[in-house]
């Protein structure tokens, strides 16, 4: 009789945002999905991952009674830890917050455990039967990227996050499956929080606007304004000025009944919160300055704390919300001591469900398989796609295809945009070829077409390419192996003008290098594009509309298609087009 496999379920939910579930069977990640994709509400704040967990169990044919471990990315923090005392000392001006951290510092954790127990009851997972493993939030992020990196030997680990329980930054080493902390920084001293405060000041929403600040930065001059006064950084110590940012209580700037993540004093120093044109002076220069300072602090911390590990193997892994900054990732990759660099493709809070589970699995002594792809969500049959068309009120037309990748490439070559819905949905924020809108980068005006048709992005924001691994060395200066759209890379100069839609102002792009092993069907599409156009590359943007979660089901896809100006969508092996309107008399 074969030994029963170890079944581990990772859950993240209402303590933060982006609830998700992830399932490991022994050391292999077999399923993961964000709750927002299933309930159709971006970020799914204040939700527990009920639908996500149910999907993970059902997709792997796991009986809830067979779950062995449930892990969460939140843990109690001892009063003997410096974290709670640091928080109290730095929030002295808000006595309710300071005293609460000392006398009731695990309140959120206790509330979360009650929510988890209720969720497990709904899922019919018996509490008394499972091993419950709470994992510190930054350790969960660290595990998600270290244990799934596939790296052997000594590995430097960096996490940058807005906040976990108290920790905001973790610098650590991994070896033989174990993680050893080297240094932590605690709230309010948050590097990601500093960037978020300026994102808020520049008029964007935190969680979604940081990408816009990063994209805005190359248009500014970082030398025009120095924002290093926002924090004190010595190379080893980092401390924000919480008279200006990361403020709470009465220190927060309030406008139109809304509190912001900065104070009135910041307004006095920098001027009114941005409204209007993005590239106005001084705001575009503020974006450039905060990006440069963010990179300066992060790289300084890596050099000061992680150099011994890097000197040994050159291996660096990076996770947490702060690692979604592709410009910082590029800067870290270029450090002389970094030879191998892995950024988790789901680095935000949703990915901490994977990290909590992987940490628990590693603690059991089970080897963890490296992450090779993120196609971990629901998939649907051709019959389900046809049913979604038949049942939709607009009755879109559909026809079966003999070769879907070839048809997509032919439409792209003709200058059309194509919605591409295939296989298992991606986990994480990037569309990687299964839930995508595709464009032909060789077509003049393709960026304007994408924006006018569905994405409605700022005109100055370029798009990202998916390209064949065989074409990557010709197109990129380096970074030919990056398959998760996590790191910006320089584009060889001879391509800048021809592919302006995917080349940023600083000459870089965010590439998705596609291999046959990772995604055979998408690879076939790119090979056909190479045959038709001479270039194995497409523009690849997420299959969603602004403010919406990535499309999950065929019904979601048809709703998007009918609610947009898109003309063509390929779902599995069918081509979907709009129903022809009868000629009016």
Residue at 510 is within a domain: yes
pLDDT value of position 280: 78
Indicate if the pLDDT at residue 208 is higher than 90: no
452: pLDDT confidence band, cut at 50, 70 and 90?
confident
Indicate if the pLDDT at residue 276 is higher than 70: no
Mean pLDDT, residues 478-491 taken together: 89
Containing structural domain, residue 233:
191-343
Can you read off the two tokens belonging to residue 331? 């800067």
Residue at 178 is within a domain: no
Indicate if the pLDDT at residue 585 is higher than 50: no
Contacts of 124 (CB under 8 A, 6+ apart): 64, 65
Residue at 375 is within a domain: no
pLDDT value of position 353: 97
460: pLDDT confidence band, cut at 50, 70 and 90?
low
Residue at 164 is within a domain: no
Buried-state track 313-340, b at ≥16 Cβ within 10 A, e below 16: bbbbbbbbbbbbbbbbbbbbbebebbee
Task: Give the percent of the chain with pLDDT over 90.
Answer: 89
Can you read off the two tokens belonging to residue 218? 């190359």
Statement to judge: residues 354 and 430 lie in one domain: no
Statement to judge: residues 391 and 323 lie in one domain: no
pLDDT value of position 582: 61
Mean pLDDT, residues 389-399 taken together: 97
Q: For 311, phi and psi rounded to 5 degrees?
A: -65, -30
CATH number for the domain harbouring residue 121: 3.30.420
Of the residues 308, 331, 363, which one is the last residue of a structural domain? 363
Indicate if the pLDDT at residue 456 is higher than 70: yes
Determine the straight-line distance between the first and last CA of the chain, rounded to whole angstroms: 75
Statement to judge: residues 329 and 444 lie in one domain: no
Statement to judge: residues 308 and 449 lie in one domain: no
Q: What is the pLDDT of residues 527-572, one digit of tens each?
A: 999 999 999 999 999 999 988 999 999 999 999 999 999 999 999 9
* Number of domains comprising the chain: 3
Statement to judge: residues 393 and 250 lie in one domain: no
Q: What is the pLDDT of residues 240-252, one digit of tens each?
A: 999 999 999 999 9
Statement to judge: residues 251 and 359 lie in one domain: no
Can you read off the two tokens belonging to residue 294? 């963010």
Helical H segments across 416-571, by residue range: 446-450, 472-475, 520-533, 554-562
Statement to judge: residues 500 and 412 lie in one domain: yes
Q: For 210, phi and psi rounded to 5 degrees?
A: -60, -35
1: pLDDT confidence band, cut at 50, 70 and 90?
very low
Mean pLDDT, residues 183-199 taken together: 97
Residue at 470 is within a domain: yes
CATH number for the domain harbouring residue 206: 3.30.420.40
Statement to judge: residues 76 and 140 lie in one domain: yes
Contact between 352 and 511 (Cβ < 8 Å):
no
Q: Is 33 strand, coil or helix?
A: strand
Of the residues 301, 332, 363, which one is the last residue of a structural domain? 363
Buried-state track 60-99, b at ≥16 Cβ within 10 A, e below 16: eebebeebbbbbbbbbebeeebebbbbbbebbeebeebbe
Statement to judge: residues 354 and 282 lie in one domain: no
DSSP per position, 289-355: HHHHHHHHHHHHHHHHHHHHHHHHH-EEEEESGGGG-HHHHHHHHTSTT-SEEEE-TT-STTHHHHH
Residue at 161 is within a domain: no
Mean pLDDT of the chain: 94
Q: Is the pTM of this model over 0.85?
A: yes
Residue at 175 is within a domain: no
Q: Is 17 strand, coil or helix?
A: coil
Can you read off the two tokens belonging to residue 299? 């790289």
Q: Where are the beta strands (DSSP E) in 124-266?
A: 131-134, 155-160, 167-175, 178-186, 231-233, 238-240, 252-255, 258-263
Mean pLDDT, residues 517-524 taken together: 97
Separation in Å, CA 528 to CA 78, 95, 163, 451, 534: 58, 64, 45, 25, 9
Question: How far apart are alpha carbons 413 and 407 in whole angstroms?
Answer: 10
CATH number for the domain harbouring residue 404: 3.90.870.20
Question: How far apart are alpha carbons 563 and 555 in whole angstroms?
Answer: 12
Task: Give the percent of the chain with pLDDT over 70.
Answer: 97
Helical H segments across 71-167, by residue range: 82-90, 95-103, 107-123, 137-146
pLDDT value of position 510: 95
Indicate if the pLDDT at residue 374 is higher than 50: yes
Statement to judge: residues 483 and 550 lie in one domain: yes
Q: What is the pLDDT of residues 304-360, one digit of tens each?
A: 999 999 999 999 999 999 999 999 999 999 999 999 999 999 999 999 999 999 999
Query: Which residue is associated with the tokens 């991994």?
Result: 174
Residue at 389 is within a domain: yes
DSSP per position, 178-203: EEEEEEEEETT--HHHHHHHHHHHTT
Mean pLDDT, residues 189-207 taken together: 94
Which has more confidence, 208 or 101?
Answer: 101
Q: What is the pLDDT of residues 104-136, one digit of tens each?
A: 999 999 999 999 999 999 999 999 999 999 999
Statement to judge: residues 306 and 393 lie in one domain: no
Of the residues 284, 312, 343, which one is the last residue of a structural domain? 343
Question: How far apart are alpha carbons 109 and 89 in whole angstroms?
Answer: 21
Helix pair angle (283-313, 191-201), 10° resolution: 160
Statement to judge: residues 237 and 330 lie in one domain: yes
Indicate if the pLDDT at residue 16 is higher than 70: no
222: pLDDT confidence band, cut at 50, 70 and 90?
very high
3-state secondary structure 69-80: EEEECCCCCCCC
């Amino acid at each position: 009789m074969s030994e029963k496999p170890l079944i581990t379920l990772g859950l993240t939910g209402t303590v933060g945002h982006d609830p998700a579930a992830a399932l490991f069977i022994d050391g292999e990640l077999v399923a993961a999905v964000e709750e927002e994709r299933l309930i159709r509400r971006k970020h799914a704040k204040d939700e527990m991952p009920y639908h996500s967990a149910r999907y993970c169990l059902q997709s792997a044919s796991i009986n809830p009674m067979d779950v062995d471990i449930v892990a969460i990315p939140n843990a109690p923090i001892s009063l003997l830890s410096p974290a709670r005392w640091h928080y109290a000392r730095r929030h002295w001006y808000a006595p309710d917050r300071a005293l609460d951290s000392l006398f009731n510092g695990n309140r959120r954790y206790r509330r979360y455990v009650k929510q988890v127990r209720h969720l497990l009851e709904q899922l019919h997972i018996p509490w008394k039967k499972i091993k419950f493993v709470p994992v510190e939030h930054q350790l969960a992020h660290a595990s998600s990227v270290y244990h799934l990196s596939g790296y052997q030997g000594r590995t430097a680990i960096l996490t940058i996050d807005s906040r976990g329980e108290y920790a905001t930054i973790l610098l650590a080493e991994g070896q033989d499956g174990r993680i050893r902390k080297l240094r932590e920084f605690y709230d309010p001293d948050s590097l990601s929080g500093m960037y978020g405060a300026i994102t808020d000041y520049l008029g964007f929403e935190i969680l979604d606007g940081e990408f816009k600040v990063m994209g805005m930065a190359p248009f500014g001059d970082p030398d025009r304004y120095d924002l290093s006064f926002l924090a004190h950084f010595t190379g080893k110590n980092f401390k924000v000025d919480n008279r200006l940012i990361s403020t709470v209580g009465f220190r927060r700037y309030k406008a139109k009944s809304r509190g912001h993540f900065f104070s009135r004093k910041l307004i006095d120093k920098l001027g009114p919160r941005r409204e209007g044109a993005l590239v106005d002076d001084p705001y575009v220069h503020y974006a450039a300055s905060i990006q440069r300072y963010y990179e300066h602090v992060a790289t300084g911390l890596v050099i000061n704390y992680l150099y011994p590990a890097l000197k040994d193997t050159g291996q660096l892994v990076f996770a947490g919300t702060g690692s979604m900054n592709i410009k910082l990732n590029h800067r870290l990759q270029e450090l002389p001591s970094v030879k191998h660099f892995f950024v988790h493709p789901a680095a935000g809070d949703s990915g901490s469900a994977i990290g909590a589970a992987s940490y628990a699995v590693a603690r059991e002594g089970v080897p963890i398989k490296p992450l090779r792809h993120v196609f971990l969500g629901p998939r649907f049959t051709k019959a389900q796609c046809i049913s979604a068309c038949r049942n939709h009120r607009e009755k879109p037309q559909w026809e079966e295809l003999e070769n879907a990748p070839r048809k997509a490439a032919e439409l792209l070559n003709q200058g059309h945009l194509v919605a591409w819905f295939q296989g298992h949905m991606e986990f994480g924020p990037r569309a990687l070829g299964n839930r995508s809108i595709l464009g032909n980068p060789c077509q003049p005006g393709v960026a304007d077409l994408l924006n006018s048709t569905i994405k409605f992005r700022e005109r100055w924001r370029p798009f990202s390419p998916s390209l064949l691994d065989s074409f990557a060395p010709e197109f990129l200066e380096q970074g030919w192996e990056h398959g998760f759209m996590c790191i910006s890379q320089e584009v060889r100069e001879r391509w800048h003008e021809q592919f302006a839609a995917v080349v940023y102002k600083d000459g870089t792009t965010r590439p998705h290098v596609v291999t046959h092993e990772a995604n055979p069907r998408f690879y076939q599409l790119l090979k056909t594009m190479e045959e038709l156009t001479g270039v194995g590359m497409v523009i690849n943007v997420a299959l969603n509309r602004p403010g919406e979660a990535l499309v999950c089901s065929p019904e979601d896809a048809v709703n998007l298609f009918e609610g947009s100006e898109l003309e063509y969508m390929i779902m599995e092996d069918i081509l979907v087009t709009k129903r022809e309107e009868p000629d009016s008399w």
